[in-house]
Structure 1
Amino acid sequence: MSRKRVGILISGRGSNMASLVDAARRDDCAYEIACVISNRPDAPGLQIARNAGIEAVALDHKALGTRDALDAAIHEALLANGAELVVCAGFMRIMTGDFIAKWEGSMINIHPSLLPLFKGLDTHEQALQAGVRVHGCSVHFISAELDAGAIIAQGVVKIGLDDDADTLAARVLPVEHLIYPAVLGALAEGRIRLENGQTVFADDDAASLSILATG
């Protein structure tokens, strides 16, 4: 089986990146990690990638100066490492429309809320302040509008009466680690695609991913 080559973009510790790296070690995995790219040279996730024998690329967004310059450098690094799919795993920079257009349908993100609720930052605190009873995470295709791309799968957790932002985050994170490799695997196998701004599933993938994602 020919595996799809994946480039992972990070800005920090890379816990979701680590879950993707672990999944890629399985013989039946449909993808391999081609490279890990960070906009912060001190991101701890870069060392995790190096320890796993994966090409780690540090690009300092401050030194590069502009979003255009950073995106151009990321694009070149992805191409240089033969990436076919792009995965954002805690990548904390807003991308340019030109960069997004180049990877449209081949680039996904995981966001710690049940989109379209609670876009942006501090999602766990947003959920608690809103008084909702369930929370979770969403995997979606990346679009030009922040956190607004077509949703692929969502993971759900109940909010406890004693939850604060930290305890809620701690329970959502394992669900993220469960659904992200599953979604990326389905994308790599061609069982998911973006068509006219909507997610299209093959066979019963929508149902199976929803079952997998519920916790």
Structure 2
Amino acid sequence: LFTAEDIDKTVGQLSGGQKARLTLTVLSLEKDNFLLMDEPTNHLDIEAKEVLEEALDNYDGTLLFVSHDRYFINELANKIISVRDGHAKIYNGNYSYYLDEKAKQAAAAQEAEAQKTEAETTLVGSQNKGKLSYQEQKARDSQKRKLERAVSDAEAKIEKLEAEEKEIQTEMANPDIAASFEKLGPLQEKLSAVQEQLDQANTDWENALEALDEFE
């Protein structure tokens, strides 16, 4: 995705996205059989992402990558490794499969917790003790609902920021803008700011989801 006009540029003159594309080009020429990537789609415009996805989809080696780009994960991953509390669990599917499995686990855990609470309430011989158990369960349910809202809010924010990111990248892909440093510079700054917010939103989502896992 480099044009003839880019030939005389030094690496220092390239944008963040162009530097990423250059690095990925060098990697592809090395013919390695194992790739370890951290956020490979960062700073890439839509066209570059599509080229990268196609190249990695045709790659016959092993690819291990960390990414917040849910579409990218769904397109390429056939296994998800979830690491929490020093333990790793493998889900044999893409990101949608992982979310479905987590939802099933959460539902099963909620059902088990409800059955446990019902059994404990039945066995309680003391009225005060039964009342305390009820209050504790009420507080626990309230905290769980807050975390569920936090997860939902974070997902909505991520979706909004991803749409904004795509809109900026589409504008940057315009040949008239791509050929002008004066026009491209402010857009790159705006894109970096949106991507920084997106990283934070993903971190908030992960933290809320991890806290929610404690209720399983």
TM-score, with structure 1 as normaliser: 0.27
Structure with the greater alpha carbon radius of gyration: 2
By percentage of residues, which structure has more strand?
1
Say which structure is richer in helix: 2
